[in-house]
Amino acid sequence: MSSLGSIIESLKQGNVIAYPTEGVWGLGCDPLNDEAILKLITLKNRSKDKGLIIIGSNINQFSNFIEIEKYKDELLSKWPGPHTWLVPPKGKISKLITGKNNRIALRLSSHKEVVDICNNFGNAIISSSANKENKATLESSEEIKKVFPEVSILKGNLGGLNRPSKIQDLITGEYIRR
């Protein structure tokens, strides 16, 4: 297990980290570092077409990605919490984040470890379930260490939600994952 300080240093160095979230263990990295995102995608054997979620502890951490004021009321109707919104991005966003989608996936968390990471890193991070593509999500730090030995893991507890977050398109209201 790594300390919060070493987790933040790993993020700054462009490495992938593991951490508990509301429902499942996550793998994350700096969303402004394409090399780090590529490391995460490669570790997971994940298709670049799928896109990734960005998780933050403060809505202002999404200012690089969306027009916050335009969507703020709607976003905050279900935030903070385990709800992922698909939002039209502002400007040019890395295709490693959006994949082949025309929306960016964002979640504002109140989970202690996520908040600690984002507040100390000073930014939101990528959040993807801790698993290889098409495999079950790993359920403990021990399992993560076996499958992803190169990843620094933050000690902590899951938030009690027994599934990944819901995903909803902000514009259409359509649920992609319930």
For residues 61-83, give the mean pLDDT.
96
Considering only CA atoms, which of 6, 9, 42 is closest in space to residue 27?
Answer: 42
> In Å, what is the CA distance from 53 to each residue of 28, 99, 146, 161?
9, 11, 24, 17
Q: What pLDDT does 23 receive?
A: 86
Q: Mean of the per-residue pLDDT values for the chain?
A: 95
The reported pLDDT for the residue numbered 160 is: 80
CATH number assigned to the domain comprising residue 88: 3.90.870.10
Confidence of residue 92 (pLDDT cuts 50, 70, 90): confident
pTM of the model: 0.95
Share of the chain above pLDDT 90, in %: 89
* Interval 45-65 mean pLDDT: 97
For residue 2, is pLDDT > 90?
no
pLDDT tens digit sequence for 158-172: 888 777 778 999 999
For the chain, counts of helices (H) and of strands (E): 6, 9
In sequence order, which ranges of the chain are alpha helices (DSSP H)?
4-12, 34-44, 68-76, 95-98, 112-121, 141-147
- pLDDT given for residue 172 in this prediction: 96
At residue 159, the pLDDT reads: 87
pLDDT higher than 80, residue 1 = no
Q: What CA–CA distance (Å, rounded) separates 98 from 40?
A: 14
Which pLDDT score is estimated for 18? 98
Strands 83-87 and 166-169: parallel
pLDDT of residue 178: 84
Q: State the residue range of the domain holding 95.
A: 4-177
Inter-residue contact 18 to 11 (CB < 8 Å): no
Q: What domain count does the chain have?
A: 1
Rounded-to-integer distance, Cα 132 and Cα 128, Å: 10
- Give the SS3 label for residue 41: helix
Average pLDDT over residues 75-80: 97
